[in-house]
């Protein structure tokens, strides 16, 4: 059996054969996706780290792994410190580490398909400061030593029907073409998998939890397009759907085809396109314009069909979650219930309706101290039983043909402590403050973030993640460009039709975690006498809150009304889908606070 020590040694031998003294290993695919296929899990293969974000660098005599604050505990559990030193990104970036650790004449390789051009430039400058250099490799060296590397997935493509898409792919391509014409470009390359899926009204099964296919695309100013995809994935239905204005070529033909853009003005997204695409276009003599993928904003602003689909999916999902919360409340206090069993039960309940196509991300099923890890991922090694006196946090979602869901609820197992009640109520107050916010057009999510934190801040506490992210329509559960966060430069104005999460939280290390998450739709608000065009939120998610964790004495009259109105609406939306004891339980949970 190969150990991670053996794998590291094999990589170093391969680097020596290639004349390299180091190599950078990110969690990334050729589309810079948030979630990647098994074939692209090179960092996990090399180090054992199973988180969703991180990277490593290997030199001749040292190696380091870089993770953010979400994974400081996990990386120590999964990665041998004798092989890789742990570097928190809050303390040092990889390029800073290169600047501090590279030796003169080091030749450090990187796969240009797995990094942005800006990263490659910054890393190159850092290496040069030490007399070293960064070089793009021809073929990833890990692929040469990973003997049982999975093949690229080959799931068939699927057509997203017009009743759910709301616009034909011809209309979408026409909108992109109009943008190209207006900006003076001949073409744009689409590299993000969800952008390609949305633009062509296709879905796939190549990435777990996100219904996309591994593909590249090129859209031209006349509205025609080329889709680069493994042609064995195409069905007759998909070929008919794509029509004559979309030509199809093999996925592996993509890089060479960029040579045909010589002299053309090509828009390329610097955040979503890997450095290799820029290199190929530069070599071809194309005129590159760094512009955001035009489909990103188009995709974020949902049309009426997508909005109605979301409402239907959220209602269906809410019924499954209500049944799950009832089950948790009855089962967990008896003892013997663990996190993996709970996650499996929730998936089972979602699937019973027959419309679940996948979960939208790996369920965060976190009891007690695990709840204090905002992005905890349960597995066989970390799985624990729920104990009386703890909180159980579940953050989960479903992929349905008509929408993508993402919701977080907290359940008290037995009697909660006064501290738990206080913190839950403070988080709820922040959730309500954001939900009822009214704001002028042009307002960014960053400007609203403090509304959700204010009640925690008054007590000198906070949470370390953003308050809201965009969500796709039977696509990625994390979607830009909008976000509700005060950090990271999120300055995208919120627009009517965007869907965001509203998810403030609180985490007490080693004890418990709290997060309340609903999805909301940005909508126009008519206000008598208003001097500006105003926006607000429509709540999309309906599932009961945890009454045992709400202290009504800490709520204002307006907040109490919000809770009662929310529960009344939950009963209206979810109630008709339940019967018998499930319906009676929901009625009790949704009764007025009194």
- Domain ranges in the chain are 4-145, 158-293, 301-589
Residue 72's pLDDT band (boundaries 50, 70, 90)?
A: confident
Q: What is the pLDDT of residue 1?
A: 64
Q: Assess contact for 211 and 362: CB atoms under 8 A.
A: no
pLDDT at 90 over 90: no
Domains 4-145 and 301-589 share a fold: no
What is the arithmetic mean of pLDDT over 184-209? 97
Q: Sign of the CA dihedral 107, 111, 115, 120?
A: positive
Q: Does domain 158-293 have CATH number 3.40.630.10?
A: no
Q: What is the pLDDT of residue 71?
A: 79
Q: How many CA atoms lie within 13 A of 59 on its CB side?
A: 21
| Torsion angle in degrees (nearest 10) through CA of 491, 492, 498, 504 | -10
Q: Does domain 301-589 have CATH number 1.10.10.10?
A: no
**72 token code pair:** 């400081």
pLDDT at 490 over 70: no
pLDDT at 73 over 80: no
Classify 4-145 by CATH class.
alpha beta
What is the arithmetic mean of pLDDT over 181-185? 97
Whole-angstrom distance, CA of residue 229 vs CA of residue 156: 11
DSSP label at residue 153: P
C-alpha angle with apex 477: 65 to 321, nearest 5 degrees?
A: 115
Give Cβ neighbours of residue 297 (< 8 Å, ≥ 6 apart): 481
At 480, is the secondary structure helix, strand, or coil?
Answer: strand
Query: To which H or E segment does residue 420 belong?
Result: helix 418-435
Q: What is the pLDDT of residue 312?
A: 98
Q: At 273, phi and psi to the nearest 5?
A: -100, 130
Q: What is the DSSP string of 155-167?
A: PPPEE--HHHH-S
Name the pairing type of β-strands 398-400 and 107-110.
unpaired
**180 token code pair:** 């190209």
Query: To which H or E segment does residue 5 belong?
Result: helix 4-17
Most confident of 40-49, 65-74, 369-378: 40-49
In the chain, the percentage of residues whose pLDDT exceeds 70 is 99
């Amino acid at each position: 059996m190969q150990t991670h020590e053996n794998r590291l040694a094999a990589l170093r031998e391969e680097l020596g054969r290639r004349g390299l003294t180091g190599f950078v290993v990110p969690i990334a695919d050729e589309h810079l996706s948030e979630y990647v296929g098994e074939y692209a899990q090179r960092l996990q293969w090399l180090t054992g780290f199973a988180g969703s974000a991180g990277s490593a660098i290997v030199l001749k005599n040292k190696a380091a792994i870089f993770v953010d604050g979400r994974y400081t505990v996990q990386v120590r559990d999964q990665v041998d410190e004798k092989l890789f030193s742990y570097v928190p990104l809050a303390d040092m970036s990889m390029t800073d580490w290169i600047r501090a650790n590279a030796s003169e004449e080091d030749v450090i390789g990187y796969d240009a398909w797995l990094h942005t051009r800006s990263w490659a430039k910054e890393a190159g400058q850092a290496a040069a400061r030490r007399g070293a250099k960064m070089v793009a490799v021809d073929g990833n060296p890990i692929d040469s030593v990973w003997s049982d590397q999975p093949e690229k997935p080959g799931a068939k493509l699927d057509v997203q029907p017009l009743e759910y898409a709301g616009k034909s792919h011809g209309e979408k391509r026409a909108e992109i073409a109009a943008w190209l014409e207006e900006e003076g470009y001949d073409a744009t390359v689409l590299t993000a998998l969800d952008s390609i899926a949305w633009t062509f009204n296709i879905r796939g099964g190549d990435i777990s939890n996100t219904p996309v296919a591994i593909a590249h695309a090129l859209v031209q100013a006349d509205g025609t397009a080329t889709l680069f995809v493994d042609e064995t994935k195409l069905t007759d239905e998909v070929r008919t759907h794509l029509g004559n204005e979309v030509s199809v070529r093999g996925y592996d033909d993509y890089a060479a085809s960029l040579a045909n853009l010589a002299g053309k003005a090509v828009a390329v997204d610097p955040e979503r396109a890997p450095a290799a695409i820029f290199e190929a276009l530069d070599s071809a003599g194309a005129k590159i314009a760094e512009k955001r993928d035009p489909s990103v904003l188009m995709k974020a602003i949902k049309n009426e069909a997508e909005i109605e689909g979301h409402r239907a999916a959220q209602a269906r999902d809410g019924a499954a979650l209500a049944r799950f919360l009832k089950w948790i409340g009855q089962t967990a206090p008896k003892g013997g219930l663990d996190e993996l069993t709970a996650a499996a039960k929730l998936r089972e309940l979602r699937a019973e309706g027959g419309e679940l196509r996948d979960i939208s991300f790996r369920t965060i099923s976190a009891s007690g101290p695990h709840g204090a890890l905002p992005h905890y991922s349960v597995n066989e090694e970390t799985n624990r039983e729920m104990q009386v006196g703890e909180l159980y946090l579940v953050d989960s979602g479903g992929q349905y043909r008509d929408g993508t869901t993402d919701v977080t609820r907290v359940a008290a197992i037995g009697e909660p402590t006064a501290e738990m009640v206080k913190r839950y109520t403070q988080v709820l107050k922040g959730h309500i403050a954001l939900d009822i916010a009214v704001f002028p057009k042009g307002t960014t999510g960053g400007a609203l973030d403090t509304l959700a934190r204010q009640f925690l801040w008054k007590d000198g506490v906070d949470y370390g993640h953003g308050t809201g992210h965009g969500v796709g329509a039977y696509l990625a559960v994390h979607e830009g460009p909008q976000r509700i966060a005060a950090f990271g430069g999120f300055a995208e104005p919120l627009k009517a039709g965007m869907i965001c999460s509203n998810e403030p939280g609180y985490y007490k290390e080693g004890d418990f975690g709290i997060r309340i998450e609903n999805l909301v739709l940005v909508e126009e608000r008519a206000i008598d006498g208003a001097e500006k065009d105003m926006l607000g939120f429509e709540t999309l998610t309906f599932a009961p809150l945890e009454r045992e964790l709400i202290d009504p004495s800490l709520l204002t009259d307006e907040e109490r009304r919000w809770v009662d109105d929310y529960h009344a609406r939950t009963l209206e939306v979810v109630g008709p889908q339940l019967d018998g004891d499930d319906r009676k339980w929901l009625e009790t949970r949704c009764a007025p606070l009194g």
